[in-house]
Every structure is written in structure tokens, then in C-alpha cells.
Amino acid sequence: MTTTETPKKPNHTTPVKRVLAFLRNTWRGLTSMRTALVLLFLLALAALPGALLPQRRLNAPKVDEYITAHGWWGTLLDKLEFYDVYSSVWFSAIYLLLMVSLVGCLTPRSFEYFKAMRAKPVLTPRKLARMPHHRVAGVERPVEKVLEEANARLSGWRRVQRDEGDGVHSISAERGYLRETGNLVFHFGMLGLIVFFALGKLFSYEGQVIVQADGSQFCNGGIYNYDSFNAGLRVDGTEMAPFCLKVDDFDARFTAAGQADYFHSNIQYQAGEDLKSGTWRPYGLEVNSPLRVDGVRVYLLDHGYTPKFTVTFPDGSVRTMATQWRTAVPATMTAEGATKFDQPGITDEVQRRTRQLAVTGLLAPTPQLHGGILTSVGPELNNPQVAVDIYRGDLGLDAGRGQSLFEIDQSRVADGRLKKMTRLNMQVGQVTTLDDGTKVKFDGVGQWVGLQVSHDPTQVYVLGFAIAMFVGLGASLLVKRRRLWVRVRPGGEGEAGTVIEVAGLARTDQAGYGEEFQRISERLITGEKGS
Amino acid sequence: MPINETLSQYSNWLYTTTVAIYVIALMLTLVEQGFGAKGRQAAERSKQRVRELVGAGGPVTTETPAEPEPPREVGRPERVGRMGAALLVLGALLQLSAIVLRGLATHRAPWGNMYEYGMAVTFITVVAWLVVTWKFPVRHLTPFLLLPVVILMFVNGTMLYTVAAPVQPALQSYWLVIHVAAAIIGSGVFLVPGVASVLYLFRSAHDRDPAKFARFAPKLPAADVLDRIAYRTTIFAFPVFTFGVLCGAVWAESAWGRFWGWDPKETVAFIAWVVYAAYLHSRATAGWRGTRAAVINIVGFAATIFNLFFVNLVTVGLHSYAGVS
């Protein structure tokens, strides 16, 4: 219902009053359902680019690729924060406005709700026959008995019995207050969820690290132990829960079609008191069962192969390296990477820089040779082979610039600082000898696991609010607010001893009330026992 | 455990048979919709029906039992329509068998990839529609629902077909049963209000200006009935869908390391949720009931379809284990 009253224009408006009026109107506009609807739409619309465009948080390299591929258009989208939709100014603005609107809507509703909870059901209307549901019947039981039975029948209802004079009594009953309760619980639950979701973004962190599955250790000592680390604004890496873990092994099984079927990694961990006593506790890490310890969760998210090479330098010194290679073709677990060697015992910088070695190329877990070209036909380790180039020269490891773990610096190949010595396919155990007598041996293949360590102190609250939301939603959609009236009077001339009149009105979506009304009124009239 | 190829083969045959039966049911009910005056009578009947349900037209429930239904003229189109409805039930049973056999063949919940998901969603849509036709006299609208169902099933069976196989480790969780089942029921039922809302737009446009859709719209039930169907199916599906999203978040927390990460599927589910929330609010807002609410519901329908297909097939995200490459 809209009010038709038009407010009178005050003759003397002071600036203060005008400002107040403006604020009041803004507030009313913002908290109206119409605005909330528009904001909901905007929220849905604003979320959409996040599903269609690459997002920096999920895949930063893809964003760069996209920007490069789309020229000025890509750059413009970047300036407008389309690659960070969910932390963009406009997305935040919409949901903040929506939250203000929500609070503005909920506050008065809560007051009304508490008022309604204390209020008595309304007076029984004079003309019950006008109600959508209505029945009249005569019975031979006394008025008091009928009233007593009706009160017992309507025990779950909030009701009030009134004496209307002349021996006429009525009961006014109402039920379904849970609907509004559910409604408020749902909306407050949502509010709480959003607040704690936002808080979680401040206090949570997430770090990824690759650990060799050969008993290697990892400790949550600081940010620099991770390969990549995302942290909330309030996390500076000084208060991270200390724990250590050792990855003993990793086991993957695949179906005949090459689809992964089973991942399992046996790890050991120590946290809290165990760190002092040096006790290790075993845990079987799997994809759907992270290790939860000290408010930190450790996940098994990735795995791959690590070829092991041993280099015997001409002076007899030996060096063995096992560097993880990244998975290039997930279906066959074909890996690519570069294993880099520095000859030990050489103090002369210039000398050293001419003698560094890199073994780089492809690893095929289940190899197939086709005209000398190595490919992998399956993800499992089955006489693995590598196809590698061996380079010698200055890798630039100490040039002061970071370089990829998985590649050699191609510019050094181009300008001759790195020279390709040989290209060959190697089986496990195979040795190749370079021109200066250096021996390179392919020892075998190990495995690495990609772990993620996550910490989010608020997620349990988010879950609590989400459950409240769901319960409230159920109540607000399923419970029906409805009224029922019973009027009992002594029968007049030519009537039965007592006349019962029952009427009903559903206050919200009415579907289904007809059947319930029939059932209840039937029982009220016949006086049968039953719920 | 190895895949039972025989059962999987039977499941495939049942799937194909189901599609064929739905096509026949579609044609038979189309006869009822197209020929005969049945549609117009249905519109009349449903008008009476809605008065009873809404209870807005004054005292309906009195001591006298509800007035008997007008004697049914069993014309030929009506009989054909009944045959169509019977076939629809048969088709649904066959489709259920196809789903069950697929599950027995793979020894897991039969909704581990796109093909199985599509099969289950269309099954739920048909079941939801059967429930609706049981509660409302709208059997002659069956073709409008079956058309998208048949198209979806055809696309699903040809382009998205995946051989029966175990699922990858990330999916080996009891949450696959709960989360995906809730998503299937929610999405499957959501297709019904979508279709009802589209029909609502035709009907209400005709009500405003009888010259519009003059041949088509009068055969539709009253706008109130369509609105009611849309609303009641939506308020069933919305909490189920919400539950599905919440379970998905709980599962994501234990499988991917975070409960919400704006993965494309999560994002579009969020969008669909917000749109349906807007629909529920619009029905409580003056000036937004009726046509606008119907349009919002159709937008939700579009988001659901988009989520079913586009997100899995075009974008790359964590939900891309559809078995389609």
C-alpha cells in the first residue's frame, strides 16, 4: 500500500532542515525494497565478468596473456579492475550499499517483530463468513465443552479467548510466527556471513610449496619457505603457527585409460609440544582429507616427477641433483624442466661460470619412441625416459636476477654464454660422456607433491552463519502465517444446542492452508481427539 | 572395482529409448495442446481452480462439498494427451533405470561427469513436471516443457557423452553424493518455473491486449496459475539449491583448500542464487509482481542453463572435470 498523503511544504526551510530531509530521503530510498532489488541485480551483473574474464587471483599468467592479446581493450579492462572483480571498487561499492540497505531494512523489521511477538492475536471479526475459509455447524455439546476442546485442539497456536457477551465466546488464534523469525534469522545470518567473510580476507593466509616425496622436510617458519604466498592485510608472516612436516612418499594410481584414481602421500608432522620433544606423528594425506593441526590446514593439491641426475666432473668431483620438473601434459604426466649443476670446489668466479651444466628437456613416464621423438603414452612410471639437451657455460645463477626453476635463460644460449653440448634420449642408468670427460648419468625418477598450507580463523564462523541462513530460509519459505477464529454460541430457535463457527485466513502465500483448515475445523466441530 | 560394461551398455540403450519416448510423448501432448478446444477448457478450469487455491474470491469452503468438476468431455485430443502423459511416466521410469544402471556399472553415485549430470537434471525436471501436472490441470502444457528437455537430452547424449569410468580423486568423497544431488535437484526443478514464466509472459501480454498472441495464448491457463506454478516450484528449488551451494563450499574447503574462491562455477551459482533471491523479493514488492517477477525468473532460468553448460564447456575452472575435452 502506498500512502497518498502528500507532505506539506514547509514555508521556511533552513539549510539544516534541508540537509536532514535530504539524508532522510536518501536513507528511505536506499532501504526500500525497490533499491534492494536493483542492487541485487547489479551484484549479479557485476559478478559475471569474474566468470568470463581471467582473474588475477586464480590465474595471473593468463591475465597477462589476455591483456597482451587484446591490446588497448585489455589494458582498459585492467584499469577498470576487470581482472580483480571481487576486490574491485565497483563490486565492493555494490555490496556495501546492499549491506547498508539490508541493515536499514532489518532494523525496523526487528522492532516490529519484537512488538508482534508480544501482541495478542487480533479481535475476532464480526462477520466470519467473509473470510476465505469458513464453516458453520451445530452440535449437541455445551458451549464450555466446545471451548475447552477447541483450546486443547489449538494448543500449538497463539490464541486469546474473549467473552463477547450473551453467552457468545470466541477464540482468536494465530500461528506461523516462525516465518518472520526465519526471515530475520536468514538476513542476519547473511549479514554475519558477509562480515566474517570479509574479516577472513584480512586474517587468512595461503601458501603453496613443492616438497620432494623422499623424506624431505618443510617447516612453516616464515613466508620465504613457500614457493608462493597469498596473505591477508593483517598477516605479516610473524605469527604463523609453527609446524614441520616430512613427506615420506607419494602414491598415485591410474585407470587403464590413464585417468587418476588414487592419490596418497604418507607424511609425518610435528606441531606445538611435539616440536620441542621432536615427536613425529604420521598422517595419510589425501585430496579430500587435509591435515588439520593448530588452526592450519595442509592440503595435497598437486604432484609430479623429479628426474635425478648425477654429474661426475673431470676432476672426479660428483654432484647429484633432484630438481622437480613441472607437468607439461597432465594426461600423460609428461614433465619438462631444467636441472642445473655447479661444479664444486672451484673458487675462481670466471672459471666457475664457464663450467656450469644444465640438463633440460622432457621426461616421459611411460615412454614411446617414434622416429627418435620421445613422447609419453601414460601417466605412470614405466621405464621412464628423458629427452634432454645438455648445456655448459654460464647459467647466470649468480647474476642477481631470479630465473625460472624450470627453464634455462634462453638469452644466454642466444649470445653464446651457454653452449649446447649434446642432445639425446636417456634411459634410467644410462650415462653420457661430454667432450671434456664429464659424465652425466640419469639415475631415476622420484616424485614431488604440491602442498598448500591454509589458515583462515574465521571460516568456522562463516559456516555457523551459513547454517543459520539456511535454517532461516527454510522457515521463511515453508512456514505459513495463518489465522483461525472460532465463535461458539448457544443455539437459537430451530438450531442445534450449540453453534460453532470457524473461519480462517492465511496471511502469506496461502497455498495449502485450505486442507489444513478443513482438517482442523472438522475436528473442532466433531470434537474428535487428534492433533 | 572394474566398470561393468554390460550394465553401462544397458544404461545407454535405456537413455536412447527414453529420448525416443519423450519425443513421442511430446508429439502426443502437442496434439492435445494444438487441436481440440481442450486448451481453452483447461484455461477455464484452471481459473476455477486458482480461486480455490488462492481463496481470494470469497467463501469457497462451505458446508457443501466443493462443486463437482464439470463433466469431462473425452475428445480425441484429450485421449491422445493422456497417452502422452502415460508415456511421459514410462519415459521417466526408463530414465531412472538408466541412471541406476549407470551407478551400478561404475559403483558410485551416477553423477560424476557432465553426461551423467545432464541425465539426472533432465530426469528431475520431468519428475517435477509430473508433480506439477498432478497438482494443477496443465497437462496440455507438457510440450513446452518437453521441448527443452528433449533438446538438452539430445545434446547431452551426443556431444557430452562420456564412457562409464571411475571419478578422479578430488571427486571421491561423500560430498559428491550430497552436493551434486542437491545441485541436480535444484537445477532440475528450476527449469519448470523458467518454462512457466515464459508462458506467463505470453499469457499476460495477451490479457493486456487480446490482439497479441490471439491464437496461442488463449490455450494457456490463466496467468495466475502460471505464476503460482512458477512460485511454488521456485520456493521448493531455492532452498535445495542453497543447500547445494553451502555443501559445495564445505566440500571445497576440504578438497581445494578454501570454501569460496570465485571459481567460474561458484560465481555463476552465486549469480543464479542472487537472481532467484531477487525473484522472491520481487513478489513481495509493489509494482514488481507479475511480469517483472516472471522476467526475473527467466533470467534465473538462463543463469541455470548457462551454469549447466557454458561454465563447464567453455571456461576453465576447478569444476572442469566434466569428462569433456
Question: Residue B315's closest chain A neighbor by CA?
Answer: A52
pLDDT of residue B67: 43
Integer Cα distance of A336 and A328 in angstroms? 6
Identify whether the C-beta of residue A478 lies closer than 8 Å to the C-beta of residue A176: no
Question: Residue A472's closest chain B neighbor by CA?
Answer: B239
Contact at CB, B243 and A470, closer than 8 angstroms: yes
Least confident of A489-493, A509-513, B10-14: A509-513
Tell whether B177 lies on the interface with A, counting CB pairs under 8 A: no
Contacts of A130 in chain B (CB under 8 A): 58-59
Q: ∠ CA B24-B19-B36 to the nearest 5 degrees?
A: 25
Neighbour-count burial of A17, counting CB atoms closer than 10 A to its CB (0-12 exposed, 13-18 middle, 19+ buried): exposed
Check whether A356 has a pLDDT greater than 60. Answer: yes
Of B238, B254, B268, the CB nearest to A288: B254
- In one-letter notation, the amino acid at residue A108 is P
Choosing among A259, A263, A288, which should be mutated to test the B contact, i.e. which has the most B CBs within 10 A?
A: A288
Contact at CB, A301 and B267, closer than 8 angstroms: no
CA of A520 vs chain B CAs: smallest distance (Å):
13
% residues pLDDT > 70 (chain A): 96
Helix (H, G, I), strand (E, B) or coil at A253: strand
Give B280's strand partners: none
Identify whether the C-beta of residue A328 lies closer than 8 Å to the C-beta of residue A362: yes
Tell whether A25 lies on the interface with B, counting CB pairs under 8 A: no
Identify whether the C-beta of residue A139 lies closer than 8 Å to the C-beta of residue A525: yes
Of B61, B250, B271, the CB nearest to A47: B271
Contact at CB, B55 and A132, closer than 8 angstroms: yes
Integer Cα distance of A20 and B114 in angstroms? 57
Integer Cα distance of B271 and B252 in angstroms? 18
CB atoms within 10 A of CB A282: 10
Check whether A156 has a pLDDT greater than 90. Answer: no
Of B53, B63, B262, the CB nearest to A135: B63
Of B53, B258, B281, the CB nearest to A511: B53
Identify whether the C-beta of residue A397 lies closer than 8 Å to the C-beta of residue A342: yes
CA of A50 vs chain B CAs: smallest distance (Å):
7
pLDDT of residue B73: 56
- In one-letter notation, the amino acid at residue A78 is D
Neighbour-count burial of B121, counting CB atoms closer than 10 A to its CB (0-12 exposed, 13-18 middle, 19+ buried): buried
pLDDT of residue A256: 81
Q: Among B204, B252, B314, which residue's Cα sits nearest to residue A288?
A: B252
Tell whether A134 lies on the interface with B, counting CB pairs under 8 A: yes
Integer Cα distance of B300 and B278 in angstroms? 9
Contacts of A474 in chain B (CB under 8 A): 239
Stretch (H or E) spanning A504: strand A498-506
Contact at CB, B62 and A41, closer than 8 angstroms: no
Integer Cα distance of B4 and B90 in angstroms? 25
Contact at CB, A134 and B264, closer than 8 angstroms: no
Per-residue pLDDT of chain B (325 residues; tens, 9 = 90+): 678 889 999 999 999 999 999 999 999 988 888 775 545 555 555 455 444 444 433 333 333 334 444 545 567 788 888 899 999 999 999 999 999 999 999 999 999 888 999 999 999 999 999 999 998 888 889 999 999 999 999 999 998 888 888 888 888 889 999 999 999 999 999 999 999 999 999 999 999 888 888 878 888 888 888 998 999 999 999 999 999 999 999 999 999 888 998 888 899 999 999 999 999 989 878 788 889 999 999 999 999 988 887 777 776 666 665 444 3
Contacts of A46 in chain B (CB under 8 A): none
Of A1, A137, A510, the CB nearest to B55: A510
Cell 519428475 belongs to which residue?
B127
Helix (H, G, I), strand (E, B) or coil at A115: helix
Question: Residue B311's closest chain A neighbor by CA?
Answer: A51
Tell whether B63 lies on the interface with A, counting CB pairs under 8 A: yes
Stretch (H or E) spanning B104: helix B76-106
* Percent of residues in chain A assigned helix, strand, coil, to nearest 5: 35, 35, 35
Integer Cα distance of A74 and A63 in angstroms? 9
Contacts of B231 in chain A (CB under 8 A): 509
- Taking CA atoms, B157 is separated from A459, A481, B122, B152, B315, in Å, by 40, 46, 12, 8, 21
Contacts of A461 in chain B (CB under 8 A): none
- Taking CA atoms, A239 is separated from A204, A205, A222, B110, in Å, by 11, 11, 9, 45
Contacts of B281 in chain A (CB under 8 A): 33, 36-37, 40
CA of A369 vs chain B CAs: smallest distance (Å):
25
Question: Residue A39's closest chain B neighbor by CA?
Answer: B278
Tell whether A135 lies on the interface with B, counting CB pairs under 8 A: yes
Tell whether A437 lies on the interface with B, counting CB pairs under 8 A: no
Interface of B with A in 264-303 (CB under 8 A): 264, 267-268, 270-271, 274-275, 277-278, 280-282, 284-288, 303
% residues pLDDT > 90 (chain A): 40
CATH of A120-176+480-526, picked from 3.30.310, 1.10.132, 3.30.70, 3.30.750, is 3.30.310
What ipTM is given for this predicted complex?
0.84
Task: Report strand pairing: A367-370 vs A373-376.
Answer: antiparallel
pLDDT of residue A509: 63
Task: Report strand pairing: A169-175 vs A482-490.
Answer: antiparallel
Q: Among A215, A189, A220, A350, which residue's Cα sits nearest to residue A291?
A: A220
pLDDT of residue A336: 94
Check whether A3 has a pLDDT greater than 50. Answer: no
- In one-letter notation, the amino acid at residue A142 is P
Question: Residue B164's closest chain A neighbor by CA?
Answer: A257
Q: How far is CA A277 from the centre of its chain?
A: 37
**Which cell goes with A122?**
487480533
Task: Report strand pairing: A418-427 vs A385-393.
Answer: antiparallel
> With b meaning 16 or more CB within 10 Å and e meaning fewer, what string describes A383-409?
ebbbbbbbbbbbbbbeeeeeeeebebb
Tens digit of each residue's pLDDT (9 = 90 or more) over A91-116:
999 989 999 998 988 999 999 999 98
pLDDT of residue B57: 38
- Tell me how long chain A is: 531
Interface of A with B in 82-101 (CB under 8 A): 85-86
Identify whether the C-beta of residue B168 lies closer than 8 Å to the C-beta of residue A260: yes
pLDDT grade for A524, boundaries at 50, 70 and 90: confident
* Percent of residues in chain B assigned helix, strand, coil, to nearest 5: 70, 0, 25
Question: Residue B232's closest chain A neighbor by CA?
Answer: A511
Identify whether the C-beta of residue B268 lies closer than 8 Å to the C-beta of residue B247: no
CA of A511 vs chain B CAs: smallest distance (Å):
6
Identify whether the C-beta of residue B278 lies closer than 8 Å to the C-beta of residue B296: yes
Integer Cα distance of A269 and A298 in angstroms? 10
Q: Among B130, B94, B104, B120, which residue's Cα sits nearest to residue B15?
A: B94
**Which cell goes with A276?**
620441542
Contact at CB, A288 and B170, closer than 8 angstroms: yes
Of B235, B250, B274, the CB nearest to A43: B274
Of B239, B282, B284, the CB nearest to A473: B239
- In one-letter notation, the amino acid at residue A47 is A
Of A136, A288, A517, the CB nearest to B173: A288
Q: Among B179, B277, B272, B222, which residue's Cα sits nearest to residue A51?
A: B272
Where in chain A are all domains bearing CATH 3.30.310? 120-176+480-526
Of B249, B260, B311, the CB nearest to A51: B311
CB atoms within 10 A of CB B32: 28
pLDDT of residue B113: 87
**Which cell goes with A12?**
521556511
pLDDT of residue B316: 66
Q: Among B147, B145, B252, B250, which residue's Cα sits nearest to residue B189?
A: B145
Tell whether A250 lies on the interface with B, counting CB pairs under 8 A: no
Of B55, B254, B257, the CB nearest to A289: B254
Tens digit of each residue's pLDDT (9 = 90 or more) over A50-70:
888 888 887 788 888 889 888
